[in-house]
Chains A and B, each alone.
Chain A
Amino acid sequence: MAGNVLPQPKAGTRLGKLPRLIGGAWQSLRHNPIIIKELRHRMRSWHGLVDLATFSILLSGFGLIMYNTYQNSNRIYSYRSYIYNVYTSNAQTPRSQELGSNYFVAIVVAQLFLACMLAPSFSAPTIAGEKERQTYDIMLVTLLRPRDIVVGKLFSSLAYLMLVTIAGVPIASVAFLMGGLGPDQLIAGVVVILVTGLSLGAIGIYWSSAMNRSVTANRNAFINILLLYFVGPLLIVYALNVAFQPTPISFQFSTYAENNLKDAMMWVSSVNPMYAIVDTNEILKNRPGSNVLFFGNTPKEFLFTPVTRFLFISSGIIFIYLWQAVSHIRPLRPEAQRMAKTSKPAKTTTSTEAKTTEPLG
């Protein structure tokens, strides 16, 4: 049992705790039997590598086309941008730099799209597949805790996506050559892709733990993602728009209220990582002094960029779905857990002794 237990952090400085905690988490991931088993299984099938190569080639081709298109239209753009810049008082962004960041955003969005496809389709069959193969019970009766199972299944199903993301980094880095892309943006791009993978993977694992067949788990995960990331935000933003549109009667719609509305819309839209990346890029281009995490309408204002908001929302999504998945994997009903929990602390040692000795003696 000892191998998997997180090292107990001793009472000490905050700074001392954190690395030990991260180290412990890393050790527990590295020794998670499920990750080892699943990865070995995945390595066995060569098509994984073939897929990876195909994807990298496709992504490079896509990048090349993007690059050429922008190059060719650069001449027109530079003329238009002259006029554009006159009107929009923000002449700081030279055209060539916009090219770099646009190229980068396109690559990231392509990868996000891939994550939307890959993460659920890898994670949704994992636990339901064990049920189908009838290996679920024997996995449950081992000493693996439900959270070991969930974490093991999640990370092993995302390993491939992580590989693809890392393979995409050099292709996205070409944007550096074109200029207009800060290293923080590149890091943010990679983080957003990985967090997207984690959230979609968590949704897949949740449905996998709830369903008995991998086909239904897969279908439900995709529907869930479609509603949560695309249809839902669109509908809400549309509804907000309709509800709070300044009509001729209420034309004194204050800028304060309008800003609040915009802010709310930005929160809702930031569920979607593609929106978050694209809009943050727009903000970076148009508002000097902002970075990937914060921006402001005035130099004194600090607002969260869509990327930051996306990260907040995603943490919530990941937490809720994984938590639900863990409670699904416990074979025992939650009522009983609650009863056990309430009865145990009240009478500690005596209750366990009475429980076990009375019927035996």
Chain B
Amino acid sequence: MIRLSGVHKTYRTGQTSLEVLKGVDLEIGDGEFVSIIGRSGSGKTTLLNIIGGLDSDYTGKVEVEGRKLSEMSDRDLSRYRNRHIGFVFQSFHLLGHMTCLENVILPSLFNGGDGGLSEKQAQDRGLELLAQMDLADKAHARPIHLSGGQKQRIAIARALLHKPELLICDEPTGNLDRDSGDAILKLFSQLNERDGITLIIVTHDDIIAEAAARVVRIVEGNVVEDRRSEPNKNVDTSTSQREESA
């Protein structure tokens, strides 16, 4: 369960300051598939960074599983990102000097030895994920030789290494063509339905937005719409849920 209440974020550059989030209240339950939409500059990425523990410079309260992120040390926050969250970015963010497999197991290098994956376990898990992404043959290739869709699947494999509960995706299909985008979307649906992973996806892509059970619209730093729709299922429950959470 993720709970944001009264989250304000202001960017200050020199003399000017820009209030990007203006008191966001949002609750996301375990296993939800949420897409966040909104105009460019409305604060979507900013919101994701705060939820993902990449940005600690805000006011308001962000709670994950009952723990306040703002009260966590850098070490704990890093561990939270490492074990509980997977990030997927629009521009993939793979490391060019490492092979695909090395990229996938990168998070295992930071698990500080306590209860994380051993080197061998990480390798096995990485290969398993690559196979799952249909990229087993690319394990020892460099990302530069891969297509956009393949790169994004490597990035997703990396995000899944520690079997996180939450996947945070910032325009994951933004740099992909339709077909690759569809493949990624299918993957996401599968992860959400089969594995119960909570998905928060920022997107401009209507198809993704429609696939999500819940759509949150942000306008100028405010949540202006929080709509639940279960495309082929019951619409009523989602509406009532929306009211509960509002």
A and B from one complex: no
